[in-house]
Every structure is written in C-alpha cells, then in structure tokens.
Amino acid sequence: MTLRPVEDHLAAILATVSPTPTVDLALRDALGATLAEPVRSAVDLPGFTNSAMDGYAVRAADCAGASTSSPVRLPVVGDIQAGDTSPRTLEPGACWRIMTGAPMPEGADAVVPVEDSDGGTETVALTAAPDLHRHVRFRGEDVAAGAQVLAAGAVLTPGRLALVAAANVATVRANTPPRVAIISTGDELREPGSELAHGQIVDSNSLMLEALVRASGVEPVRLPRSRDDVDSLTRALTEAAAAADLVLTTGGVSMGAYDTVKEVLSRSGTVEFAKVAMRPGMPQGHGVIGPRATPIITLPGNPLSAMVSFHVFVLPAIAALQGRPVDAANWRAPAVPGRAAVAWPSVPDKVEFTRVTLRRGIATPSGGQGSHMVGALADANAIAIIPADVTQVQEGDVVQCLRLVGTIPANNAAGEVSML
C-alpha cells in the first residue's frame, strides 16, 4: 500500500480552491481579509498639528530660562480641548491651556506639560523651558495624504484596520470573507448535554471545527448533523455546497461498512479518497461538489485526527480562498521550533503529529496520543511535526511545531507568559 505524501494531498486540495470574488468590504467586516488592492491614505496623519501632552501651548522663546527656582509667568488666553475646531492664534507673551490631541494654535511652537507648571488657568507659572517643537505632533509626520499605507496582499490585522480607519478610508477591496460549512456525520452523535444511550457519543467535532474556523478569522456555516444514511448526507451536502465556499465533513471516510461520506462522494466522480502518510489523519478525501464546484475536504471522525487535518489541510485551503499565496511544498512553513522535553517514539514511514504543550521553546507531549483521545486536548497548544524518516525523537531534539489555532498567549498560574 503506497501512502500519499502530505504535500501531495495538500497540493491536490489547493488545486480545487480559487480565491473568493473581490468586493468592497466595510472595515467592520474586514478583519482577517486580504487586500486585493493597495490602500492609500485619504488624509495627512496627524491631520493637523496638535499637542502630545496636556499642558500649555507656548512660544518656546517666551519660556527661555524657566525653572523651578525662577518660573516664567504667562497669562492664559483660554482652553483648547480635543475636538476644538475654531481657529486659534497665540500672540507673543501669552499661552493657551491645551489638552492632548487638541490643535495647536497658530504661532505656538512648543507645549509645556502641566506637570511643569502650577496648573494655573488665568496665569500660569511654568517651571521648565521647552525645546522648540517639544511635545508637538506635526501634521503629516506619520503618513502623508495620498501615500500608500498597505500593499495589495496585506492581511487585515487589528493594527492595520486601525491604520486604514485613521487614514479615513471606510471600505477596502478584498476577497469576500470565505464561508466554511461544517457537517459532522455519524449515527452515534448527539448534542452536548444529551441523555446518552449506550453506544452514543457527543458530537464534539462540529463544535471544535466551528471554533477553529472562527478562530481562523472565518465565518463558519454550521449545518445539521447528518446520519449515516445516503439521503440525510445528500441533503446536507447539497445545502452546504450552495451556502459555502468550502465544505468540511467529519467521519465516514475510513474502511467501515457505514462510511457514508465515502460511499456517497465516491459515486460523484468529483471527490477522491486517499490514504495519506500521516498519523493521526490517514483517511482523507477531497474534491468538489455541487453546481458551483464547491471545494470539499472530508476529515476523519476521530477528534485528534480532525484537529490535525484542520491545521495541515484546511488552514491552507482557507488562506487560498482569502487570496493568499500558499505553497503546498512549504506546508511546514508556519511551524516554530521547540526542543523536545523528553524522548518519544514516532511511527515509521508516516509524518507523526504529536500533540504537545509548547512553553518557552520546550515541547512536551501532552497526555494520551490516541487519535480518539480528547482528554489531554485541553493542555495542548501545538502539534509537533515528526518527519516520516524519524522513528525516535530524542530529548533535546529540535522539533517543528504548528501552533494550534485559538490558543492565545496568556499569563499562566506560574506567572510566566506562555501559549495557553
């Protein structure tokens, strides 16, 4: 039995995926989107010369020699607060009380922070002499109007969204946010909180995949679970193909007699099933379904297999839908190195994905590694990629680790910053 290499299976998946159409997206809907066109600033940033401190707008020359022992006293003309739109002028020998972000009056060339004064409102005693332009933010010093602030291909992170908004650009041209449909399959599956009869289990995959999709910045489309029967699955697939840009199923793809996903989709002629040289996650399928040739990835049902398959196959497919360049041969690229805390064995001739906790660069296998084992999933924040030709990881070896989507840095109980 020859197994298909991980990169070949990913390449076959990517061949079915094209970027979603481009649209004008309101910024509020654009988190995680990839820009199809560059963004140019509509305004200078800052848009007007303003104060960086709460204090007094002055002419620096009027404050020469000011110190605690010999303060300079100036009359205060009035207050300028943030949002003040009136034109203001500063005559020599006076000052304005000014707030952070408020426009500098014409003629002022420095700000004395309130901390270097007695806080006066009629007259003020200034106890420090400012350098010219001290605490002044100049119009256009950050970004000039018309300048490109983001290139095509940039992914909109929270910081970049702030930049686009500050540039007074309300919409961006980007690929339509992909919709990813999730169908779990299995007669044994029930909702969390159900009365479980002997032989029944909770459908944890659809919740996990929905959360993974959402944590990847993409909108999940959750569809009703399918039973292991042809009609139920056919209905779900038809609905999914119409509603989504990518369809994910879990379960029903191994060698069992009731592996309906395989049964139904094998007949379609547009979906192929393969054994991929990986553990967990060997049984995989992919192709297109429905009138729009919607890409589909059929994930194995075992929770850990589904988790690993999501990171190895689904994340790159989502990136391709978002219009990002993805190279199947470089599927390990997002991995970060970790040093093995202990030795552990690895299966020959397959890439082994070992669930690990990665903290401060140390990778420790977490809990039972069986593909059905969810017990230790709570601790894992990464999966170590152990190449097919490695049969033993030695303590201290550097292993490449894919961070699990949705595990964010936080302070742990020991007070150290780590993932999880």
The HSE-up count of residue 260 (CA atoms within 13 Å, CB side) is: 19
Closest CB to ligand AMP among residues 97, 262? 262
- 186 is an interface residue for Mg ion by CB under 5 A: yes
H-helix or E-strand spanning residue 239: helix 230-243
Where would I find the beta strands (DSSP E) of 93-245? 95-98, 110-113, 123-126, 136-137, 148-150, 171-175, 179-184, 189-190, 201-202, 219-222
Smallest separation, CB 310 to Mg ion (Å): 18
Closest CB to Mg ion among residues 29, 263? 263
Q: Which of 174, 212, 253, 328 binds ligand AMP (CB under 6 A)?
A: 253
With H, G, I as helix, E, B as strand and everything else as coil, classify residue 112: strand
**Residues with Cβ < 8 Å from 203, sequence gap 6 or more?**
184, 186, 189, 190, 191, 192, 225
Which does residue 372 touch among ligand AMP, Mg ion, none (CB within 5 to 8 A, set by kind)?
ligand AMP
Closest CB to ligand AMP among residues 71, 280? 280
Stretch that binds ligand AMP, among 27-35, 70-78, 180-188, 333-341 (CB under 6 A): 180-188
Q: Is the CB of residue 89 less than 8 Å from the CB of residue 112? A: no
Q: Which of 254, 266, 268, 270 binds ligand AMP (CB under 6 A)?
A: 254
**Residues with Cβ < 8 Å from 20, sequence gap 6 or more?**
175, 176, 177, 178, 245, 321, 322, 323
What is the number of the residue whose Cβ is closest to ligand AMP? 301
Stretch that binds Mg ion, among 116-124, 125-133, 184-192, 202-210 (CB under 5 A): 184-192
Smallest separation, CB 283 to ligand AMP (Å): 7
23 forms beta bridges with: 174
Give the whole-angstrom CA distance, residue 225 versus residue 206: 8
- 283 is an interface residue for Mg ion by CB under 5 A: no
Give the interface size with ligand AMP as a residue count (CB under 6 A).
Answer: 20
Q: Which of 371, 372, 377 is nearest to 357 (CA)?
A: 377
Smallest separation, CB 14 to ligand AMP (Å): 24
Stretch that binds ligand AMP, among 71-79, 82-90, 202-210, 315-323 (CB under 6 A): 202-210
Which does residue 232 touch among ligand AMP, Mg ion, none (CB within 5 to 8 A, set by kind)?
none
Closest CB to ligand AMP among residues 292, 372? 372
What number of other Cβ atoms are within 10 A of residue 58's Cβ?
30
Q: Which residues bind Mg ion (CB under 5 A)?
A: 186, 251-252
Residues near ligand AMP, by CB under 6 A: 184, 186, 188-189, 201, 203-206, 250-254, 256, 300-303, 372
